[in-house]
Amino acid sequence: MRLQQGRDVAAGMRSMLPWLVAVAPFGLIIGVTAGQASLPSAVGWFTGPAIYGGSAQIAAIQLLDSGAAAATVIATVLVINLRLVLYSAALARYWRGTPLWWRLLAAYLLIDPSFVVGIRRYEHHRWVLAAARQGGQRLTPDGGLGDLRSSHAFYSGAAVLLWVGWLTALGVGAVVGASVPEGLRLELLMPLYLVGQVVPSLRQRATRRAVVVSSVVAGACIAAPLNLGIVVGITAGLAAGYLTSLKDRPGPTATPAPSTQEHPL
Amino acid sequence: MNPWLVILVAGIGSYAMRICMTLTDRLILPPRLEACAEMVAPAAFAALAAASLTVLVVSAPGLSAATPVVLAVVAAVAGTAGTGKPYVAMLAGMPTYWLADALM
């Protein structure tokens, strides 16, 4: 069992590697920002383990650097991180029944890449179970189909690697990031990788509509204060996707399938 | 307020958002919220990408500076749609950006 969990942890780490490539430049940029701010470098770096979210960290560093009030900095960070409540809600049903200490740690490590890598694994698990039930296959706790402990180990491996990589990138950015040529435009890596994550999910009509609406609204609201445009975009997209899913609701004999089943794990 | 303390409070608030829905085993999400939860990731990432790309395009000093960004996104979408591999977005998009930027 321990050997299998070790393999699941390693598989989670492998799944996180492309994300690390994508977010490392972002971490470098934040490190540089922290290093160039009037704050002590250690304060900038501390946003990593404390806030652990790139956009919110950048906002906090820039606001503190510009002398903003503490309440403004805190409110801004919380608004930017509002999406974490939705991530938490999405993972809650999978984490139900796990030890409290594990949930406390797993939640601390929850951020965009760990959420995407983790939820895909959990949804894949659910899809396998649904397919097995439909085929009349008998299920046992660890009878070859894998149970949630395997997915928890997968999530843990991915999330811990991301955390270590992120804090390392922040530290390296603060030290050497300033020498990266600006012309490379490495800040483009992050949105491009996000595009890559979204495109395969566009096959379902409801998800497609959610993506289109959230993109358009978030893009149109970039001038909104406190980065609220992103939260407004996500909310509008979810509303549009939900309304579409009501129209597309399958009949009682339809096969259940997660929205990301086409992604290999 | 001390900047260390500000960041610590912001961090505790962020952690509360991460943990809030997972702390109790008795929490059963309404089916409507469960249905929405499956779309959170695509919607969130679309919004984050759109906001970042819009800023890059709008802040570009002219059309010739914004075009490579747009071409990079087109290449990323085409590459990912054609292969089904998310990482192809970066492999196709960044070289497209560098090439278009060099030509313009």
The reply to whether A145 and A82 lie within a common domain is yes
Spell out which residues of chain A touch residue B40, defining contact as CB-CB under 8 Å.
83, 86-87, 89-90, 234, 238
How far is the alpha carbon of B63 from chain A, nearest alpha carbon, in Å? 17
The reply to whether A167 and A240 lie within a common domain is no
The reply to whether A198 and A213 lie within a common domain is no
CA dihedral of residues A121, A96, A89, B37 (deg, nearest 10)? 50
Spell out which residues of chain A touch residue B56, defining contact as CB-CB under 8 Å.
187-188, 191
The reply to whether A83 and A117 lie within a common domain is yes
Residue ranges in chain A modelled with pLDDT below 70: 1, 36, 133-146, 177-180, 226-227, 249-265
The reply to whether A91 and A196 lie within a common domain is yes
CB A20, CB A160: distance < 8 Å: no
How far is the alpha carbon of B70 from chain A, nearest alpha carbon, in Å? 11
Please count the residues of chain A. 265
Asked if the Cβ–Cβ distance from A218 to B10 is below 8 Å, we say no
Q: Which of A47, A104, A101 is nearest to A76 (CA)?
A: A47
The reply to whether A231 and A117 lie within a common domain is no
Q: pLDDT digit string (tens) for B14-65?
A: 999 999 988 876 666 667 666 676 787 788 789 878 988 998 898 888 888 8
Q: Which of A14, A87, A23 is nearest to A265 (CA)?
A: A14
Residue A144 is predicted with a pLDDT of: 42
Q: Does A72 touch chain B (CB under 8 A)?
A: no
Its ipTM equals 0.82
End-to-end Cα spacing for chain B: 48
* Cα–Cα distance for residue pair A199/A184, rounded to 1 Å: 24
Mapped onto helix, strand or coil, the DSSP state of residue B62 is coil
Interface test with A, best of B33, B34, B36 (most A CBs within 10 A): B36
CB A111, CB A53: distance < 8 Å: yes
Q: Which domain holds residue A35?
A: 2-175+187-203
Q: pLDDT digit string (tens) for B76-96?
A: 999 999 998 888 998 999 999
The reply to whether A243 and A139 lie within a common domain is no
State the pTM of this model: 0.67
Q: pLDDT digit string (tens) for A180-214?
A: 677 777 778 778 878 988 898 888 899 999 999 99
In-domain check, residue A223: yes
